[in-house]
Structure formats: C-alpha cells, structure tokens
Chain A
Amino acid sequence: MDAGADPGGIGVLDLQGGVQEHLDHLRRVGVATRPVKRAADLAGLAGLIIPGGESTCLSRLLTIFGLDAAIRQAYDQGLKLWGTCAGAILLARESVGETPFLGLIDIAVSRNAFGSQLDSFNREALAPAVAREPIPLTFIRAPKIVRAGERVRVLLRLDDYIAAAEDDRILVTVFHPELTPSLAFHRYFARKCGLSVVGDDDAGLDPDWTPLSWTRFSSHA
C-alpha cells in the first residue's frame, strides 16, 4: 500500500469516517486501492473516494496539508472522484445554508435532510445505468440532492430528491453502497475510472460480504 505502488488504482480519503468499508468493497471488485492521508498519496491514482463521515470535520482536515488543493489539482489532471454522503456534500457546488467546499460538481445538496438517526433507513431501488436488478441502499443521516445542473446525469431519483448523480468526472451518492452487500456502484465507479473489474452480476451482491467485513482493515493493537 506504498504511495505509487498501485498506479491506476482507486484511493480512499483516510481522514475520518467510512474508510475501511470502501477499501473492503474495492478489494472485492478486484481494484488496487490504498488509503490517502497526504497529497503525495494521490500520485498515480485513477480515482478517489471521499467517504461518509462528518463533512465539517472532513473539510477542516482536508485543509491541513493542502489536501483540498491537491485534490483539485489531481482532478484537473484527470482524477475521477466519488463522494458518498458527506463526500457528496464536500463535492457539491451548492450546499443549502452553508458555504460549499470543493464545489466541483453542479448539484445542490441539503444536509441532514431526513432528520436524526431515528430517520436513517434502508430501501431497495433500481438504478438502471448501474445495475440490472434493484440494489439495497443504506441512508444514514443522509443529505438530499435537491438540484442537478444541465451537465449532470441523474442515476437515481427517489420521492422528492436525487439520490445518485454524475457528470463526466464525478459520481455522487447520498447513500452508502459500502454498507451493503452490493458491489454495483463500486464496479460502476471503477469502470468510470477506466479500470477493469471482476464479477458482473445483476445486483452486484457479494455473498461473502458481512456487515463486519470492514473490520479486516481496522487497526489492531
């Protein structure tokens, strides 16, 4: 997992939040991956996932080593980005009632739009561009995408909001595919990054995945 050791892989921003969960899913789709803690860790990556966590915390930490500027620069040079939940908030051009952070995709998000943890939920839905069968979705204190610009494609619309969208270089999901057995979105993003992936089934369900699979990447004393 040395910087530069896996050129062309997908990094996971490793500052706070659901890092190990994404690392686990990326391994399952057969993509080289590494945690990204410093600007130098971005070298050679084809894609970067900004995971779920707390967006204020992530935004503060991103500025410490100028990682925000480094991400913008790598993006200008072709790095593909995927933000899940808090990551989507950080990538949005507009955040209702707040100052936007990276502002790289033309969407507006409304933070924490469903309420408290008691309003977190699971559901299933079909995102035809991503999987042929409905896939499980997990929403945890999720934001809503309330507007998508002209050059943004909606991948999944639910009720009164957009749950997944993309432009040519950025994918955003307000739910957490890394907290479900479905690998479909990780395969989709890997292909968007121009990487080859293993497996190709209808809903992308991995029978070997469990809710505790992330622990294999957690630190052990």
Chain B
Amino acid sequence: MAENRYLLNTQLAQMLKGGVIMDVVNVEQAQIAQEAGAVAVMALERVPADIRKQGGVARMSDPGLIKAIKEAVTIPVMAKARIGHFVEAQILQALKIDYIDESEVLTPADEECHIDKTRFEIPFVCGARNLGEALRRIAEGAAMIRTKGEAGTGNVVEAVRHMRTMNREIRQLTALPAEEIMSFAKVNGIPYELALDVKKLGRLPVVNFAAGGIATPADAALMMQLGCDGVFVGSGIFKSGDPARRARAIVKATAYFNDPEQLLEVSMDLGEPMAGLDVATMASEQRLAGRGW
C-alpha cells in the first residue's frame, strides 16, 4: 500500500470520530441505522449474539448480502473477514466496501498470523485488548483500532477493561525515561518505532473506537468518557425491543457523552435492552476476545 493510501485510510476513520457504527444483517436494518444517524454500518449475516447462540464456524458474510446493503445506504459500509483469512479480505476489497474488520467475532482462519494489511489498498480496523496488541495491528497496516470487548454479550465490562488497560499502558509509556522504552516495548510486544509515537502523542496514532458489549446510551457515553473516539454497537441495537429508538438514543449519547442531562433524557423509555450475559461465569472457550494476539 502506498503511503498516501494508508494516510487516506486513517483519515476516513478520523471523519467517523464521535459517531456510532452499527451491525446490520439486512437492507432494512441498514436503512434504519442510517436514518438514526449511524456513521457507518457493519454488514454481516448474523450479529455476534446469534453467532454465539448458534455456534459452528462463523465466516465472512455472503458478498451478495453485503452488496445489497452497500447499494441501500450512502454511509460507509464495513464487513468482517476472519483473522488471518487474507482471501476473504481480497474478496471484500474486490467488492469495494469501505472498511474491513479483521474480527475475532468470526472463527479465526489462522492462529499464528494476522492478515498482512499493508498489501491491501482498502482500510482495516482490528480489535485489541491492550496497547501492545493495538500497535502490532497498526504495524501490520491497520488504519483504525477498536477495543475487543466481549461481543454479543450486551455486557460492557470487557470493553472497559481493554480501554482502561490501553490508557494505563499509554500513561506508563509516556512517563518512561528514554532508556527504558526499548525494554517496555520488548516486555509488551510493542514495535519500538510505534512506542516512540505513542510516547510523543500520549495516545494511539490512529482513531480508536470502543466495541464489544455496548448496549445502552450510558454504555456508549462511558466508553467515550474513557477516551474512545467513537463506538461500535453490535447486537445491542437490533436485539433490543425498539431498535430505531435505541439507535437514535445511542447516537445522541455518543455526541453528548459529557452531558448527564442529555444522557438522562435519551435513556428514558427505550424499551427492552438486549438480554445480557455475565462474562465472569463464561467458559474461556466461549470468550471471543481471546482470539488473535
């Protein structure tokens, strides 16, 4: 990928800042999401909550479905490829969607290697649980990062853990004297040059969204107050009682994340939220965040 193409890809993510990216499984949902003010949609066959319930191997969605959604909306369309499945990514690039999510929500195709994203023109977003993981993905060519959280649970606890971990490690790094950076980078598996960037900036060098378990306007605002640049909502909208209303409320809460009065207003009378799962009692093989490294 040419340098200016990578820059354009990071800059598209900048234009999404302060926005909500919503999972949709059909054209009708995509239109509801756009109408509610989503900045992009993630087109997929099953939301994470259903992938969890139905089990089996979760793969890239049928390109026909993604194409139909792409034709139905004017906002950017994203789609997921399996971790390491560079051919799914090639297909999604040929489909000319706007962003690929190399996602732990799908069953990994490679337990050792992630996709070499520098070989693509299309931008990638990748999940991360900590600073090292985020910077490894950026070194591989990711133009945007999101927390992994624990998708399909409606439980924000893991997204909070991942964001707090990233923030803590960034604070540690910025406070280090120059001679300790190499050692910090080694221990945390961080590419050295990127460690220097983070130390200088005091944040990730790309846009960082929250994802995985966000189900309410308050969850979205919580992640924004923790320093995220925007949020992904997966199962939280279309698994709830009144998706259009909840979608609008989460869009407003993300924009006015620092305004408790506004958050109060948008949180009222939203109908049933999605049923949640307790991550703490979940068997480790049920956890998606452990996929990828």
Contact = CB atoms under 8 A, between A and B. Distances in A.
Interface of A: 14-21, 37, 52-54, 56-57, 59-61, 64, 85-86, 111-112, 115-118, 120-122, 138, 140-141, 176, 179, 211-212, 214-215, 218-221
A82 B16 CA distance: 19
B98 A117 contact: yes
B237 interface: no
B251 A117 contact: no
B186 interface: no
25 contacts: A16-B18, A17-B15, A17-B16, A53-B15, A54-B15, A54-B38, A54-B75, A56-B34, A56-B37, A60-B248, A60-B251, A85-B15, A117-B8, A117-B76, A118-B93, A141-B15, A176-B11, A179-B14, A212-B201, A212-B205, A215-B202, A215-B203, A219-B227, A220-B227, A221-B227
Contacts, number: 127
B121 interface: yes
B37 A112 contact: no
B96 A61 contact: no
Contacts of B40: 54
Interface string B59-79: 000000000001000111100
B173 interface: no
B2 to A, nearest CB: 10
A138 B4 CA distance: 10
Contacts of A215: 201-203, 205
Interface residues of B, number: 53
A117 B12 contact: yes
Interface of B: 4, 7-12, 14-20, 34-40, 70, 74-77, 93, 96-99, 121-123, 163, 167, 197, 201-203, 205, 224-227, 229, 248, 251-252, 254-256, 262
Given A21-B14, A117-B76, A218-B203, A54 B39 contact: yes
A212 B206 CA distance: 8
Nearest to A60: B37
Contacts of B98: 116-117, 141
B256 A19 contact: no
Given A116-B98, A117-B76, A17 B34 contact: no
A109 B4 CA distance: 26
Nearest to B205: A212
Given A54-B75, A141-B98, A17 B17 contact: yes
Contacts of A112: 74
Contacts of B224: 219
Contact of B121 (A18, A56, A64, A118): A118
Contacts of A179: 11, 14
B261 to A, nearest CB: 11
A20 B13 CA distance: 13
A61 B201 CA distance: 30
Nearest to B200: A212
Nearest to B4: A122
Contacts of A53: 15-19, 39
